[in-house]
Amino acid sequence: MLVLVAPGQGAQAPGFLTPWLELPGVADRLKAWSDVVGLDLVHYGTEAGAEEIRDTAVAQPLLVAAGLLSAQALLDGVSDGAIGAVAGHSVGELTAAATAGVLSDKDALAIVRKRGLAMAEAAAVTETGMSAVLGGDPDAVVAHLEKLGLTPANINGSGQIVAAGTAEQLAALAADKPEKARVIALKVAGAFHTHHMAPAVSALEAAVKDVTVGEPRVRVVSNKDGQVVTDGRQFVERLVGQVGNPVRWDQCMETFKELGATALIEVCPGGTLTGLAKRGMPGVRTLALKTPADLDAARELIAEHGTAE
């Protein structure tokens, strides 16, 4: 069984969309989506520097657009039943929702633009950020973070927990690391998936209120608790609430294993989630879609591990 996953914020890099523009129709699609989000996605995906695309309000629409472009290129002519499940990490849940047919591409992009703006506005209230904690006993790490007033915002499995909180709290973490753990500051502009994002949750609730929601064509796994969600509206409600709640990617990977996953493909800009899967899902084949040059190998993986239903 094959799982298709979409990365979250921080996976973007300058120029990462450049090779994808060589595919027929991609430039036109990106220009149309640029009109939806009010951003020049071609510029941000090809010419913009690291600081420009680090901006939450830019990064999130750019990542969803990239995920959808690469997923559509990969799945062209592939039956829905070939993909056993889809999931996304944080903002990648919108990519997953559109890929599964829960949201249209246009609605997913309109929502992610509002999500990015709302989260950027919430992050501007207080100086906050995130740091990755690598290694250490997971329970001990969580207890240590809570002692410092930090939130374990992403519990990613494979020995990785992302802490989120104020600049002062993160500085305290850097000075007082959990036992046998390393701490790496992340280049994100806020304490995402914490109570600091409460205003963004309210804004997103309003953004999805009247959106048309479909039923999933393929199993969708939720960040909230790793559960398969079969109701489209419920999945949309979950991804809204997830802005202010921790991402449980560890539980998502456990669900993939329980479903019988034998292969995992991460859409563009792939790399982060395949890295976690290599450590957390031993024996499962993984492939990261970075450029169109990876498409043939990805299609071979689908042919080998996909199960038409």
For 7, 73, 76, 268, 304, the CA distances from 249, given in Å and listed in that order, are: 11, 25, 27, 18, 25
Which candidate in 90, 144, 196, 305 is catalytic?
90
Positions of CATH 3.40.366.10 in the chain: 2-123+195-305
pLDDT at 290: 97
Q: Is 34 a catalytic residue?
A: no
CA pair distance 253, 130, nearest whole angstrom: 22
Give the mean model confidence (pLDDT) for residues 244-259: 96
pLDDT(42) > 70: yes
Question: pTM for the complete prediction?
Answer: 0.94
The average confidence (pLDDT) of the chain is: 95
Q: Confidence class of residue 119 from pLDDT cuts 50, 70 and 90?
A: very high
Residue 309 reports pLDDT greater than 70: no
Mean pLDDT of 44-58: 94
CATH class name, domain 2-123+195-305 = alpha beta
For the four alpha carbons of 29, 31, 35 and 40, in that order, the dihedral sign comes to positive
Q: Are strands 85-88 and 2-6 parallel, antiparallel or unpaired?
A: parallel
DSSP 247: B
- Residues 164-178, mean pLDDT to the nearest whole number: 96
> For residue 128, what pLDDT band results from cuts at 50, 70 and 90?
very high
CATH number of the 128-185 domain:
3.30.70.250
Please compute the mean of the pLDDT values over residues 62-83 and round it to a whole number: 94
Indicate which residue of 193, 196, 222, 305 is catalytic.
Answer: 193
Which part of the chain has CATH 3.30.70.250? 128-185
Task: Give percent above pLDDT 90 in the chain.
Answer: 94
Q: Is 193 designated active site?
A: yes
> Do 5 and 266 touch, CB atoms closer than 8 A?
yes
Peptide bond into 269 cis (omega under 30): yes
pLDDT of residue 77: 86
pLDDT on residue 188: 81
Percent of the chain at pLDDT exceeding 70? 99
For 75-117, how does the pLDDT look when each residue is reduced to its tens digit (9 = 90+)? 998 887 899 999 999 999 999 999 999 999 999 999 999 999 9
